[in-house]
Amino acid sequence: MKTAKVIVDRDFQVSRIDKRIYGSFIEHLGRAVYEGIYQPGSKFADEEGFRKDTLELVRELNVPIVRYPGGNFVSGYRWEDGVGPKENRPARLEPAWSVVETNEVGLGEFSNWADKAGTQVMMAVNLGTRGIQEAADLLEYCNLDKGTRMSELRKQHGREKPYGFKLWCLGNEMDGPWQIGHKTAREYGRLADETAKLMKTIDPSIELVVCGSSGSGMPTFGQWEATVLDECYDSVDYVSMHTYYADHEHDTRTFLASSEDMDRFITDVCAACDYVKAKKHSNKTINISFDEWNVWYHSAQQDRKLPKWVRAPHQLEDVYDFQDALLVGSMLITLLRHADRVKVACLAQLVNVIAPIMTSDTGAWRQTIYYPYLLTGKYGQGIVLQTLVDGPTYETEKFGTARCVDCVAVYNDEADEIVVFAVNKDIDEPIALNLELRQFDGYEVGEQVVMVCDDLYAVNTEEDPGRVVPQCRTGSAVHNGHLEAVLEKASWNLFRLRRAGMDN
C-alpha cells in the first residue's frame, strides 16, 4: 500500500483559525430566500414566516456569518424596497437573474432570521447601479443609534436598536462583464475607496471587503487586484475571492484536483496584496474574504430552460453527489491551510441554491456536501499546524500535479485535541497515513469518522436523505507518537486525538 507521511509539530503553527472561515451565503436568488428560509403559510413556518426546519439545520451547522443579499443580485438592488411596511413594498424586475423580486424579505427580516439561526450578517452594498450615497444611507440606517434621518427611519420601521453589522462587502464581482454596472479596475478602485472612506467615517468599527476577481480564470486576474488595491489599500480590510468547480468531463481525478487550483489562487491573491503593500511601503496587511466557493455545474442545463420574470424559480438547484462532498472537504482543508490569510469564507450558498440544505413543501434535507462542512466547522477550531505531507501524487492535464492525500492538522487548544482532516483522492486504492506528532506526547485516537461510498455519483434526496453520510470507524491508532491509519479509496476522513485517559 502507498503511504502518505505527514509531520506536524506543536510549535510550527500557521495561525489561529478565524471562526468566520466557516461562513455561508444567502442571495435573493431562486428559492434561497423564498421557500428556503421564508415561507409563510407553510406547515414549517414560525410566527414570522421563517421555516423552522431550515433554521434547525442552519443551527446544527453553527454557521458563524452569512453574506447577504448578493451576489449578482446586489448590483441592481434598492435596499429601501425591502424596509418598512410590507404592503408598501414594490415588486421589481430583478435583472441579475431575470426574475421578479417581491421584497417580502428585506434586511430587517433577514437580520431577524440571522438572530434565530444564531449567525451574524455580512452585508453587501450595491456598487453596480448605485454608489457612495446609497451605501452611506444604508450603513446609517443599519448601524447608527438615533437622531439622524436614516436611524430614525429604522426606528419608525419598528427596529429600535441598530443592527450593528460589522462586516460589509463593497459590491460584488465588479470585474465580471455580466455584473450590472460592471467597471474597470481603476473605476471600481476609485469608487470603492471613496465609498469605504465615507462608510468608515460613519461607523469606524466596521470592516470592509473590496471585490477581487470573480475567479482565477478571469483575463484581468492579478492586474485587477493590483489596480483596485492601488486605489483603496488604506481604506479596506479584505479582498474577496470567488471560485466554483465543475466536473463537466466526468473525470473524477481531475475534478478532485481542483483544490490545487484553489490553493494556488489563494497564494496568488496574497502575492498581489503584498505587492501593493510593498509598493506603498505599508505596514498593513490585506487579508482574504473567500466569500463564494463551492461546486457548481449540475443545474446549468436545466436552468437554461427556466421561465423568466417569475418569483422564486428552481434556479441553481444543484443536487450534489459523493465526489462533490470529497472536493468540498478538500476545499475546506485548503482554506484551513491558508488560515494565516483567509479570515472569512462563505460556502455559496446555504439553502436550495447550490446549497448543503434543500427544502420542499414536505421537508428539509442535507445534501452530501453538508457533512464535510458540518464536521470541519465543528472540529476545525483552534490553531492550524503546518502540515507537511510527503505522499503519492498524480498528474492531471488541467491542474498539473495533484496530491493524492490532502491533509491538515489543527490543534484545538481549548479542548486539548488534535484534529486531522484528510481526503484520499485515489479512487482505486487505499493509502496508509503515517502522521508524526512532534511535541504531542500521550495522545490517542478518540474518534475516527469517514465518508466513503461505493458510487462516486450517489446523492441524497428527499426520499433517501441517508445515502451518503459520515460513518464512525475504528482501526486507527497512535503508535510511538505516530498516528497510523488507512485512508480508504476516495474517502474524506476525520481523526480526533485526545490525551490518553480523557473522556469524550
Binding stretches for ligand AHR (CB under 6 A): 27, 70-72, 172-173, 214, 292, 348-349
Closer to ligand AHR by CB, 128 or 380: give it: 128
**Cell numbers representing residue 423 in the block:** 481526503
**Cell numbers representing residue 44 in the block:** 414549517
Is the distance from CB of 354 to CB of 316 less than 8 angstroms?
A: yes
Is the distance from CB of 478 to CB of 484 less than 8 angstroms?
A: yes
Report in angstroms how near the CB of residue 75 gets to ligand AHR at its nearest. 9
Is the distance from CB of 292 to CB of 340 less than 8 angstroms?
A: no
Task: Give the residue from 243, 374, 251 showing the smallest Cα distance to 323.
Answer: 251
Closer to ligand AHR by CB, 176 or 377: give it: 176
**Active-site residue among 173, 225, 231, 417?**
173
**Cell numbers representing residue 356 in the block:** 448543503
Fill in the DSSP letter of residue 477: E
Report in angstroms how near the CB of residue 173 gets to ligand AHR at its nearest. 5
Is the distance from CB of 431 to CB of 6 less than 8 angstroms?
A: no
Report in angstroms how near the CB of residue 70 gets to ligand AHR at its nearest. 5
Residues 6+ apart with CB under 8 A from 287: 237, 238, 239, 273, 341, 342, 343
- Euclidean distance between CA atoms 340 and 70, whole angstroms: 26
Task: Give the residue from 61, 37, 45 showing the smallest Cα distance to 113.
Answer: 37
Fill in the DSSP letter of residue 17: P
Report in angstroms how near the CB of residue 163 gets to ligand AHR at its nearest. 23
CA dihedral 157, 163, 167, 172 (to 10 degrees): -10
Closer to ligand AHR by CB, 260 or 292: give it: 292
**Cell numbers representing residue 254 in the block:** 481531475
Is the distance from CB of 191 to CB of 131 less than 8 angstroms?
A: yes
Whether 173 is catalytic is: yes
Closer to ligand AHR by CB, 72 or 289: give it: 72
Report in angstroms how near the CB of residue 296 gets to ligand AHR at its nearest. 7
Closer to ligand AHR by CB, 82 or 382: give it: 82
**Active-site residue among 35, 231, 292, 417?**
292
Report in angstroms how near the CB of residue 315 gets to ligand AHR at its nearest. 9
Whether 436 is catalytic is: no
Is the distance from CB of 344 to CB of 167 less than 8 angstroms?
A: yes
Report in angstroms how near the CB of residue 350 gets to ligand AHR at its nearest. 11
Closer to ligand AHR by CB, 328 or 445: give it: 328
Closest-by-Cβ residue to ligand AHR is 71
Measured over the CA atoms of residue 99, residue 103, residue 106 and residue 112, the dihedral's sign is negative
Helix or strand (DSSP H, E) at 11: none
Closer to ligand AHR by CB, 70 or 377: give it: 70
Q: Catalytic positions, please?
A: 173, 292
